[in-house]
Structure 1
């Protein structure tokens, strides 16, 4: 095939493409208008949404349990179970429509291990109410309360045991000091063990006191901001998607018409031949 024939084939293909667009221009245009309109409608529906981000931590609840509890709330939003959602968050049934979505994640490599709860609403007046309701539901969940109580009891038992061991070591040290009262005081194994246990007790007491069963979740950060949806972004995105869809629909129609014409032509030619 020569270069000249290649140029002719490409030109012929280009001409066919232009003719195809001219022939099916109305269909492509209608699909583009419809798709762009859908993009604009979506922009109008989401332009007033507010994203609220709560970052917190807990010494009594694992992040996995918090995430699963938030998923439970999300399920009620997705299924439209307004009565149950209102009961969980302690809000009115009609107010549930203002809560659009909720997600929860673990923020890795932090100490303490942080978690993030993001919820979307369309009314700034209810943000604090939703936040309070979400945290209250997590805090008052029966399983979570039972787990935190069990954990606190465990730490209490550990503190009792550490206190007993410290008292025992203290008695041994006093006895040793009494027996060696005339000798130079040296660091012994009792003293080293006592210091280690004493540090463990301080850390354990801090953990124990941090488990506040009325407020299991500690706030680290909270912020709300409008979701700034660009109308141009939505319009362009939906325009190009609808343009592609328009070409596909037009191509399918053209293919269908050509197929029918081909079948009719073959049928007609066979009829004449017979």
Structure 2
């Protein structure tokens, strides 16, 4: 075994799927542990990996270990495996609010740790992940971790002080985008469009708009202006969004999200 997951939930599954699809690791080279039997068996059926109910088995057999349990279980998960973590093993975390200093304290000894924040679009190979490493990780090891994380989307190495911002701008933001798509579809349905078709139109518009930002390099405001004809339908919709506090609501929601991450 080379790659281990402690926790086999949705995010772990998304990461596994991307890694296997890109050929970074073969399914038989991956092992995942989960105390919840239906969960680990579902993951085994979906990805063909090895599974166990024993976190220590994962720690013993893996060179790279991804801690993919929920944040509230990090302390107990680390307590159960820390005596098995040797200086040649690499720990990757995906929990918000768990700093490198906190993680090192839990292990109680020098350990190679890379803290990351992925998001759920990893499930379709379009994730956005931020990563930062402690002083025990070499540049070569960080690059290796980035190669693994790149299997399910884009990766940026950032200073740790930005990780809480990452939570709000990419980690949690798919939820805001899903709400936006749902609201647009609801409006279309109210005006007579069938529900399934409304979701397709709204989702494709969001997808295409995001792709324009990434691929044209133009400022979002410039792209917005390109759609807004004088005295047209779009500028009237934009005026109404501004009157209802659309941008302010997004900004304030993200600031609350960032603050919550800082105090987890």
Q: TM-score range by the shorter chain?
A: under 0.3
TM-score by length of 2: 0.22
Greater relative contact order (CA < 8 Å, ≥ 6 in sequence): 1
Q: Which structure carries more helix by proportion?
A: 1
